[in-house]
Structure formats: structure tokens, C-alpha cells
Chains A and B, each alone.
Chain A
Amino acid sequence: MDVTAHAFKSNVKAALKDMQLQRALSGLPTGLVAQRTAAKAKLPEFEALRDVGRDIKNHTLAHLDLYLEAWETKATAAGAKVHWAPTAADAREIVAGICRDANARLVTKGKSMVSEEIALNAHLEAQGLEVVETDLGEYLVQIRHETPSHIIAPAIHLTEAQIEADFRRQHTHLPKDRPLDEPVKIVSEAREILREKFIKADVGITGANFLIAETGSSIIVTNEGNGDLTQSLAKVHVVVTSIDKVVPTLEDVTTLLRLLARSATGQEFSVYTTFSTGPRRAEDADGPEEYHVVLLDNGRSALLDTPFREVLRCIRCGACMNHCPVYGAVGGHAYGWVYPGPIGAVINPALIGLEEASHLPNASTFCGRCESVCPMKIPLPGLMREWRQQEFAAGGGTRMARSALKAWSYLARRPRLYHLASRLGIAALSALGRTRGAFRSLPLAGGWTRHRDLAAPQGRTFQQLWAEHKRGVPR
């Protein structure tokens, strides 16, 4: 996909003015956020499970090569063909090769963010294949020639009215006056159209939420059942996934599954959790004749000896973006690459380079909600701070920002000077703002005062108030 992370600032301006987008995003607090809160309340062990989940992933990552080999041995014994892909280009070409060998014309796809990461659809289409997304949200995005704006709710940026218009534009073989004013009618229409694709497909591509070393299985989690039809009806099932998805045992994956749906949609469990192991067996009546798994690295292994290793714990639930005030204001497309929200702000610089994605770790208020809801306890604000430090060390940022940071750093390391400067500054602002109690404009603070007043300080600094408090001076 086209990368526009470098244009984050202009993406944000456009997003804030996009009234359809703002209407679509307004449902987040009462939707996914409230649902997660309710699910968490129903499971007293939820917080303790987060610690267990974190430890499972940490253990696996510390032994990653061995668990991948153990998984591969089991998967291969069950008849899987395992393909290792160091880069996105390798993965694309491996999948294209599998499709060529199968003489495929039609490819159906279940939801897969890794396939977005490697820009698989465009590559397969360039080879003359018809590629159809079957997750409803992904299908909505595909017929608009867009990309997902959320990792579990790809069409969260669209309103019902937009979707109705898209269906009328796209499905021209259906009566023009058919009613589509209810979500259920839209879903039924998509069901009819995609059903035909499932049945005719030559190759079915899905992602994987997890790989299990104990059994050599891959797992997908869906609510629609599209992933199961994708992988059961085509002759060839291709799993496109990445090296960070492996876990040791069924007990380990069970713990992560207890966290995943609750964190993602607030469901106690997703409707369909499917474990796939090898192709159909000799005695089976259905299922794919071939089962391939493509394991993508694409920069992940390079994170293992860096502070960013912690993001490899991510189970892609989307809770961080649902709870992020920045994501909630601008949506996912503004981030300019596959992974939006706080997790994107940390992963994207690692995968596409800090130079391209440097705005993303800066687009945070460090409110900490993402870390507080992350089922894998990934310290997302801390890792964004780490990127900011690397950016500064590499000479990044505007001259103004760099000068301000240097000045602040100089003062912060000289406490007496810092207290003096803040006392003088606050006294001056207090005196200047005495009449209104607030400023409509201030030099160097235009970014703030263009949109709101800045409250005038009351005259004393925090340190002064604190010192008085400790001496017992009544306020």
C-alpha cells in the first residue's frame, strides 16, 4: 500500500474536517470501549490473566527460533507446506507462486493484517487473479479502493449511508429500487454475493491469530464465519502470517484467547475460533487439498535485541486504538500505513523506518490509556518515547522543537535555575493575565491559543505551593 505516514499532519487536518468520518468515529466510546469494560467486569480474573499472557509471550519470544522449529516439525508432519519469508517481497512472491501452481483464477481472502502489510492483493491482481475480500468490513473497504482503518473493524470509518451508496454503485446487477436502509439488508446482500465467490474460489487465503508449537496448528478467530468458508471450500488454503504468532501449547493459546475477544470487541469469546492442522485427511469429506503457511519476518527479528521487542507480544486486538484520544479524533487512515493507533505508532517506524513514520510516535498525549488496556501489557507510551529519543539523537524534528527541547533540557538539569525561571515566567503571566484570568493569544503558543484560551497562572509555582503545604501554611 501507499505509505503516507510522512504526511500525518496534513492527513490529520483532512480527517478533522471530514464530517462523515467524525460521525463514524463518534460511536467508539459507547461501542467497543464500553463493551470491553463490560466484558472485563464479568471476568474477575481478567487483570491477572494479562500478567499471565505477557509472561507466555515473553517466554516464547526468548525461545522464538526453537518454538518456530518445533511448530514447523509438527505442521510438516501433518502435511503443511511451510514457507519462510524474510521480506514482504518474498512473501508476495511465495503466495503468487502457490496460486500459479494451482492454476488459480479466483482467490478469496479472510481478514489478514499481514497480507495488508505485504500489499498482497495488488501483487496478485497484477498477475491477473481476481482477489475478493470476504470479511464484510474488508469487502466494504475493497470496493471503495481503500485500506482498513482499524485492525479489527476495517470499515469503522464508514457510515451506513456511505455503505448503502457503495453497494448501489458496485452491485449494478441488482434492482435499483431495492431497500438497503437497514444493516441487516446490507449484510444479506453481501452474503449472497460473497457466497458465490466462496464456492468458486480456487485458493483461500487467511491470516493466523496464533500458531501452536505443540500441535503444528494455525488459528483464526472470526465472528462472521467467512474465514471458515474461505479455507474449507477452496482447493488450496494459504495462511499468511508472521513469526511473532507462535505460542507453545494449547494451554498457552487458551489464556491468550481469553484475553483477545474481551479486549477487542468485548465478547466473552469470538463466535468462531478455528484450529487448522495440515490439509484434508484421506478419509475427510471436505477441506482443502493443500495447506500452506507463509511465515513473514519483515523486520520483526531485528527487534528482538531492542527495547521494541515488547511489541512482538501484540495479539492485534485493537484495544489501544479504541481507547486512544488521537485515534478517536482522526481515525486510522491518517496514520498513513497498515497499523494505526498507538501500536502503529510503535510498530510502523520499526517496519517502514523512523524517517517515514517519525510523526506517529509524536502523535500522542502520553495519557497512558493504551498501556492500561493492552492485554499484553506493552508499554506503548514508553516505546513511543524511545522513538522520540532516537529521532532527536538522529537530528530529527523541526529546528524550533529541537531548540525548545535543548533549552528545557538545560534548565531541567539545573534545578535552581529552573525554579527561578518558572517563578519569573509564572509571575509575569499572572500579572499580564490578571484582568481576564486567561489569554486569547500568546507568542510561541499560537498552536494552543488558536483553538482555546490559555488559563493565566495564579501567581505561585507548584514547588512554592508544595513547600507551603509542607510547612502547613493554610491556602
Chain B
Amino acid sequence: MSDAAAVARREKVLGAIRTRLGNSGGKREAVEARIAGQARHLVPERSRQDASGLKALFAAQLRAGNATVVESASEADLPRIVASYLRGQNLPLTLRAGEDAWLRGIDWSREPAISITKGPAVPADEVGLTHAVAAVAETGTLVLASGPENPVTVTFLPETSIIVVRAADLVGPYEAAFDLIRERYGHGTMPRTLNLVSGPSRTADVGGRLVTGAHGPRRLCVVIVG
């Protein structure tokens, strides 16, 4: 297929739209203003709560979707919390994680049995550990940005996913999480993938009955730190 043919196809589609819409002046300004404006629409009332209310809502929503939610009072306590969850599930203490600076800064030697392999996940990995950039209380949703810090395969390939989020990064509505992303990446710019995760993978395709653990993780453990 030649480039000229591709250009012709593009013009055909856009031309057909323009003909039908009968475009008039001033529209381009309206479009640019809308994109630049980031105006919020109606935001559900449930996302306007104090920090403890948001944390309770976040945890309750995740648990309703069959996720485990645990709290770690401090960063120092995180290794113990992770080890305790994995032992409770009878899982190995061997984890896969990316290069996330915050996760690397934690003293994992406090739990000598834990070993962490760095890099993107491979099919043999049983447990993935990732750090969410934000958490949305509204529906119990974690926001993960792809990159060397937290490769997307670490969240999706292993059977067990542990996602850690700082209590300070917990917000009410999605809109607040997108503001954090805009702050970090710049307006109109995104990481290669932004993953919103609200539970372990599931399906109801067999007879309409809900089964947890389809193609993604069978288990999701969310640790709120601080």
C-alpha cells in the first residue's frame, strides 16, 4: 500500500465527515479550548471525604471485587507485611519487580527470606510486586504507569499480584488521579500504558457464573503504606 493511497483514504474519511457536518468557523477554537480546559464534569459525592473515609471506601471497594487489602503502618514494616501475606497464601517469597526507586529504597533485608528479581516478568514468575502512582477511592482502583520502574508485564503475568500504594497518593475521584499524572508527565502526555486495576482478573463467560483468575492474576493483594 502506497503512501499516496493512505493519504487518499485519510482525506476520504475526513472529507466525508466535513461534508456531512458542514463545518463553519470558530469550531477549531472551541475544540482547542475544550482540550486545554480539562473541565471536570459531575463528580460523584462519594469521592469527597476525608483521608480516613477515602481509605475505608478504597479498601471496601477492592474487597468487594475479591482483592485482599492490608495496611502497612510504615515503609519499614512493608517487608514483614508482604512476607506474611505470601506465607498465608502458601506462596514462595520470590518476587519479580521493576526498578522502582521507592521500592528499592525499602530495606527488604528485614525479611531475609524475601528475594526480589529485577526486570520485566517472565512466564515462570509466580509473584509480581508493583508500585502504583495513585489510588482512586471512588471504585477501589489502582493507577499504574508503565516504564522500567514498573513494567506492565509484572502486573499482568504472575498469578499473584502485589500492588503497593502510599496512603498519601490515595485520592477520591479519577479526575484527581489524572491531575497527578499530568503533573508527572506533562499536560497531554502519557506513559506508554496507564493501567487502572480494580481487582484480580475475572470472567463470567462460562454460564454467566463469576470466576476469579482468568488471564491476569488470580490473586491481588493491595498494600497501603502509611
Q: List the interface of chain A (C-beta within 8 A of B).
A: 24, 27, 31-32, 43-45, 48-49, 52, 56, 59, 62-70, 74, 78, 83-86, 90, 93-94, 97, 134-137, 140, 153-156, 158-160, 163, 183-184, 186-188, 191, 194-195, 198-199, 213-217, 223-226, 228-229, 231-233, 243, 248-252, 254-255, 257-258, 265, 267-281, 283-287, 295, 297, 301-302, 304-305
Say whether, besides A287-B152, A304-B20, A199 and B123 are in contact (CB < 8 Å): yes
Chain B, 37-76, contact with A by CB distance < 8 Å: what is the 0/1 string? 1111110111000000000000001001100000000000
A271-B189 contact, Cβ under 8 Å, with A66-B31, A223-B214, A301-B17: no
Q: Which residue of B lies closest to A45 (CB)?
A: B44
Q: Which of B82-90, B103-111, B162-170, B201-209 contacts A (4 or more CB under 8 A)?
A: B201-209
Decide if A301 touches B13 in the complex (CB within 8 Å).
Answer: yes
- A-B pairs with beta carbons under 8 Å apart, 10 shown: A45-B42, A65-B23, A86-B12, A184-B213, A223-B214, A228-B156, A232-B156, A251-B178, A276-B193, A285-B147
Q: How far is the CB of A35 from chain B (nearest CB, A)?
A: 10
Kindly list chain A residues whose C-beta atoms are within 8 Å of the C-beta of B20: 301-302, 304-305
Tell me how far the C-beta of B33 lies from the nearest C-beta in chain A, rounded to whole angstroms: 10
Q: Is the CB of B35 within 8 A of A248?
A: yes
Do A68 and B14 touch (CB < 8 A)?
yes
- Which residues of B are found within 8 Å of A272, using beta-carbon distances? 195-198, 201, 216
- Total residues of chain B contacting the partner, CB 8 A: 82
Give the distance in Å from the alpha carbon of A65 to the alpha carbon of B98 in the complex: 40
A-B complex: 7 closest residue pairs judged by Cβ atoms: A225-B216, A224-B214, A137-B205, A304-B20, A269-B139, A183-B206, A273-B196
Residue of B nearest to A262 (CB): B139
Could you tell me if B197 and A271 are in contact, using CB atoms closer than 8 angstroms?
yes
Q: Given contacts A66-B28, A70-B31, A214-B35, are A184 and B156 in contact (CB under 8 A)?
A: no
Cβ A224 vs Cβ B203 within 8 A = yes
Docked Cα-Cα span, A223 to B217, in Å, equals 11
Q: Which residues of A contact B195 (CB under 8 A)?
A: 228, 272-275
Q: A194-B215, A268-B61, A271-B200 are in contact. Are A250 and B28 (CB under 8 A)?
A: no
B76 vs chain A, min Cβ distance (A): 28
* Chain B 171-214 interface residues, beta-carbon cutoff 8 Å to A: 173-175, 178, 188-209, 211, 213-214
* Nearest CB of B to A55, in Å: 9
Candidates B17, B34, B204; contact of A65 at CB < 8 Å = B17
* A187 and B206 contact, CB distance less than 8 A: yes
Q: How far is the CA of A320 from the CA of B223 in the complex (A)?
A: 39
Bound complex: CA of A326 vs CA of B42, how far in Å?
34
Q: Are B45 and A226 in contact (CB under 8 A)?
A: no
Q: In the complex the two chains form, what is the Cα distance from A213 to B213 in whole Å?
A: 33
Q: B188 CB to closest chain A CB, in angstroms?
A: 6
* Chain A residues whose C-beta falls within 8 Å of the C-beta of B198 in the assembled complex: 268-273
State the CA gap A100–B30 with chains docked (Å): 41
A284 contacts across to B, CB distance below 8 A = 146-148, 151, 192
Closest A residue, CB atoms, query B210: A183
- Determine whether the beta carbon of A195 is less than 8 Å from that of B151: no
A38 to B148, CA, bound (A): 40
Question: What per-residue 1/0 map shows which CB atoms of B1-45 lie under 8 Å from chain A?
Answer: 100001001101110111011110001101110110111111011
Q: Which residue of A lies closest to B67 (CB)?
A: A271
Q: How far is the CA of A226 from the CA of B155 in the complex (A)?
A: 12
Contacting pair B151 A285 (CB below 8 A)? yes
Q: When chains A and B are docked, how far (Å) is the Cα of A214 from the Cα of B217? A: 31
Q: How far is the CB of A422 from chain B (nearest CB, A)?
A: 44
Q: Which residue of B lies closest to A35 (CB)?
A: B204
Question: Out of A84, A90, A195, A243, which one reaches B215, CB within 8 Å?
Answer: A195
* Interchain CB contact under 8 A, A274 and B206: no
Chain B residues within an 8 Å CB radius of A268: 61, 64, 139-140, 198
B119 at the interface (CB under 8 A from A): yes
A86 B9 Cβ-Cβ under 8 A:
yes
Q: Does B23 contact A184, Cβ atoms closer than 8 Å?
A: no
Q: How far is the CA of A268 from the CA of B211 in the complex (A)?
A: 17
The one of A48, A66, A158, A275 in contact with B194, judged by C-beta atoms closer than 8 angstroms, is A275
In the complex, what's the smallest C-beta–C-beta distance from B199 to chain A, in angstroms? 5
* A181 CB, min distance to chain B CBs, angstroms: 11
Distance in angstroms from A409 CB to nearest chain B CB is 32
Judged by a CB distance under 8 angstroms, whether B94 is at the interface is no
| Chain B residue contacts of A52, Cβ below 8 A | 41-42
Q: Which residues of A contact B141 (CB under 8 A)?
A: 269, 273
Give the residue name and chain of the B residue nearest to A180 (CB): B206
Q: Which residues of A have CB within 8 Å of B205?
A: 135-137, 140, 153-155
Q: Cα distance A163–B208 when bound, in Å?
A: 12
| Residue from B13, B121, B202, B207 within 8 A of A297 (CB atoms) | B13
**Cβ-defined partner of A187 (8 Å) among B9, B39, B208, B211:** B211
Cross-chain contact B151 with A84 (CB below 8 angstroms): no
List chain B residues, Cβ under 8 A from A94. 1
The answer to whether B196 and A229 have CB atoms under 8 Å apart is: no
| A16 shortest CB reach to chain B, Å | 20
**Contacting residues, chain B, for A267 (C-beta < 8 A):** 65
Establish whether residues B13 and A277, one from each chain, have CB atoms under 8 Å apart when the complex forms: no
Q: Please measure, in the bound complex, the distance between the C-alpha atom of A196 and the C-alpha atom of B64, giving whole angstroms.
A: 31
Interface contact B1-A224, CB-CB below 8 Å: no
The residue on A at minimum CB distance from B181 is: A250
